[in-house]
Structure 1
Amino acid sequence: MKILMITGDYVEDYENMVPFQALQACGYQIDAVCPNKRKGDTIATSIHDFEGAQTYSEKRGHNFTLNADFASVKADDYAALYLPGGRAPEYLRLNPEVIAIIRAFASANKPIASICHGPQLLTAADVVRGKRVSAYPACEPEVKMAGADYVALEMDQAITDGNLVTAPAWPAHPAFLQQFMALL
């Protein structure tokens, strides 16, 4: 089963790498792509941590090597979509091709998993209206403005609504991945 992961520079390191590797370990093929980059190119990641400040801290993470070309992506070739968080969704949501891909997955009712700031892509694609959605708490206003019911969860929890799995941050990986794989 093939899963598409749309990622980009300064994606949250754990939210990029952990699901990528965990889903592969479970037998799924994950194609990690980024607009304007090709297979073999790298993206820079950032590590977000919860250290007692009013928001998360940010440190430079690893370089992550993309394993597929964004330019050749066709939603019909994939069974599901994964959208990690971090800062990448801030600029990825401005790309009309990214938005079109997300809308294609949503209209086909394929499983979509999105964590932390990843739901910024879902709100920009206007695919959360009427859904129960979690995200990093700073995303609550735009989730609500997009017509979704924002669900405040503990950082280690996730929520499924239909074909959509969302969670507030990387501490939710066990629950998040379990719920996503249940849809697969």
Structure 2
Amino acid sequence: MAPKKILMIVGDFVEDYEAMVPFQALTMVGHTVDTVSPDKKAKETVATAIHEEENNEQTYSEKRGHAFTLTATFSSIKSKDYDALILPGGRAPEHLRLNKKVIELIQEFNKDNKPIAAICHGLQLLLTADCLRGKTCTGYKAVGPDLKLGGANYVEKNADEAIVDGNLVSSPAWPGHPQLLSEFLKLLGTQILL
């Protein structure tokens, strides 16, 4: 199996684990992962946030995470140069979805039926790009009503689960990385031999 070239779109206050873990895991198995953010260049950084549900509170708390270094310049990327797409969550998707180029790029990946992994609030980007109509998916529970209104078949799952529908694999939150990444690797045709 030849290594794949994967694009990850991030922005300030992307969820720390949802960017770091897939980047490191996919790189570890031999794939190239380009990380980009609109209006930023390679070697610049985005701020990350760590989201945690704690103390039986009604929603997650947010703490400042690491600086996540970008590996490519957003303005120079083209979907045709990549085999797959990753859309992490956090607060970044709420402002990334306002960027026309981001939405057009996502639409190109979907139109070409390339594997897409989306987690947590990352599904907001697919929703804005109108790529979820008729698709079965999961995401962070607070995004569920929006996904339903956008025509997705939203299924509430535990945080450590994932759903695959065609070229899309989705999960509610970073505890789902083992299943999300395992299914994404299958979509990429990557075999891990034990």
Could you state the TM-score of these two structures normalised by the residue count of structure 1? Answer: 0.99
Tell me which residue corresponds to 1:13: 16
Cα root mean square deviation, aligned: 0.5
Tell me which residue corresponds to 2:123: 119
Pairing 1:166–2:183 present: no
Distance in 2, matches of 1:179 and 1:151, equals: 17
Tell me which residue corresponds to 1:101: 105
Shift, 1:141, TM fit:
1.2
Shift, 1:181, TM fit:
0.5
Shift, 1:154, TM fit:
0.5
Shift, 1:113, TM fit:
0.4
Distance in 1, matches of 2:106 and 2:68, equals: 22
Q: Per the alignment, in what secondary structure is the counterpart of residue 121 of structure 2?
A: coil
Q: How does 1:73-88 map to 2 (within 5 A)?
A: 73-88=77-92
Pairing 1:56–2:65 present: no
Give the alignment partner of residue 148 of structure 1, picking from 149, 152, 163. Answer: 152
Percent identical among aligned pairs is: 59
Tell me which residue corresponds to 2:94: 90
Tell me which residue corresponds to 1:27: 30
Tell me which residue corresponds to 1:42: 45
Shift, 1:138, TM fit:
0.4
Which runs of no fewer than 5 residues in structure 1 stay unpaired? Answer: none
Which runs of no fewer than 5 residues in structure 2 stay unpaired? Answer: 189-194
Could you state the TM-score of these two structures normalised by the residue count of structure 2? Answer: 0.94
Tell me which residue corresponds to 2:192: none
Matched length: 184
